[in-house]
C-alpha cells in the first residue's frame, strides 16, 4: 500500500516538476498537497533531494570546465613566453598584416551600405530545405511537405511571426509529437533562422545553444556554433 502510494506520489510530483500538468491538474495537485500530509512530506523530500543533487553536480561540472580553461590559458601564456625570441619576425609580419586588415575593414565599413545585420546573417546561413529523398511513408510525406512549406517560406516572408509561432509550437512539443521527432534538428535550425529574420536573436541563441549541446561533434552542431559565434560578433 505504501509503495503504491509512493509510486503515485512520484508520478504526480515528476509531472508537476517537468511542467506537464494541465492547469486543472496543477490546481488539484496543490490542493492535495495541502490536504495530504504524506504527499506533502514526500514532495518536500524529493524536491530537497533533487535541489541538493543539482547544487553538488553543477559545482562539480563548473570546476571541470574552469580547470580546463584556466590551464589552457596558462599553457598559451607559457608557450608565447618560451617562443618569444623565435617569433619576433613572425610577430612583425602578423602585426603588419593585422594593420592592413584593420584598414581594409574600416574602409569597407565606411563605404558599405548599412543594411540590416540580421538580414545579412540570415542570408549567409539560409538554404532551401530539400526533402526529395526523406519521405518514409504516407504520414511522413505529409510531415515533410508541411515542414518544407514552413522552412522554405521563411526566405521571402517580410514578417516571419506566423512561421515562428508555428515552428515554436512544434519545437516546444517535440517530446509529445512523435511524427516530428525525426526532423527535430531541422526544426530547431529553421526556427533559429526565422527568429534571426524576425530580429529575435536572443531567442535564436537559446535554440542554437541547445542544438549544439544536444548534438555534440556533429555537422549540425558545428554549423549552429558558427552561427552563434557570428551572432555574438554582430552585437
Q: Is 204 in the site for another protein (CB under 8 A)?
A: no
Q: What stretches of 83-137 show up as alpha helix (H) in DSSP?
A: 88-111, 117-125
65 binds another protein (CB under 8 A): yes
Minimum CB–partner distance for residue 17 and another protein (Å): 4
* CB crowding 181-209: b at 16 or more within 10 Å, else e: eebbbbbbbbbbbbbbbbebbebbbebbe
Q: Which of 25, 27, 38, 71 binds another protein (CB under 8 A)?
A: 71
**Is residue 228 close enough to count as binding another protein by CB under 8 A?**
yes
Q: How far apart are CA 200 and CA 122, in angstroms?
A: 12
Q: Does 174 bind another protein (CB under 8 A)?
A: yes
Q: How far is the CB of 9 from another protein (least distance, A)?
A: 10
Task: Answer whether 221's CB lies under 8 Å from 215's CB.
Answer: yes
Asked if residue 25 binds another protein (CB under 8 A), the reply is no
Residue 6 sits in the site that holds another protein (CB under 8 A): yes
20 near another protein, judged by CB under 8 A:
yes
Q: What angle do CA 48, 53, 58 make, to 5 degrees?
A: 130
- Residue located via cell numbers 521571402: 156
Which residues contact another protein by CB under 8 A?
3, 6-7, 10, 13-14, 16-20, 30, 33, 40-57, 60-61, 63-65, 67-69, 71-72, 174-175, 181, 184, 209-210, 212-218, 221, 225, 228
Amino acid at each position: 500500500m505504501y509503495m503504491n502510494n509512493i509510486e503515485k506520489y512520484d508520478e504526480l510530483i515528476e509531472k508537476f516538476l517537468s511542467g506537464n500538468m494541465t492547469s486543472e491538474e496543477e490546481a488539484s495537485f496543490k490542493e492535495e498537497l495541502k490536504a495530504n500530509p504524506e504527499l506533502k512530506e514526500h514532495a518536500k523530500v524529493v524536491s530537497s533531494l533533487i535541489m541538493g543533487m543539482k547544487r553538488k553536480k553543477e559545482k562539480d561540472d563548473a570546476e571541470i570546465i574552469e580547470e580546463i580553461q584556466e590551464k589552457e590559458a596558462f599553457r598559451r601564456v607559457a608557450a608565447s613566453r618560451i617562443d618569444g625570441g623565435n617569433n619576433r619576425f613572425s610577430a612583425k609580419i602578423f602585426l603588419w598584416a593585422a594593420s592592413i586588415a584593420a584598414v581594409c575593414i574600416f574602409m569597407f565599413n565606411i563605404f558599405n551600405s548599412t543594411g540590416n545585420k540580421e538580414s545579412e546573417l540570415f542570408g549567409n546561413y539560409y538554404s532551401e530545405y530539400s526533402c526529395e529523398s526523406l519521405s518514409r511513408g504516407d504520414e511522413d510525406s505529409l510531415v515533410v511537405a508541411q515542414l518544407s512549406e514552413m522552412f522554405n517560406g521563411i526566405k521571402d516572408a517580410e514578417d516571419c511571426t506566423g512561421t515562428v509561432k508555428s515552428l515554436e509550437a512544434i519545437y516546444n512539443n517535440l517530446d509529445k509529437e512523435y511524427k516530428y521527432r525525426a526532423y527535430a534538428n531541422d526544426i530547431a535550425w529553421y526556427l533559429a533562422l526565422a527568429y534571426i529574420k524576425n530580429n529575435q536573436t536572443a531567442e535564436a541563441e537559446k535554440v542554437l545553444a541547445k542544438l549544439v549541446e544536444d548534438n555534440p561533434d556533429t555537422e549540425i552542431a558545428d554549423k549552429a556554433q558558427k552561427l552563434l559565434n557570428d551572432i555574438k560578433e554582430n552585437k
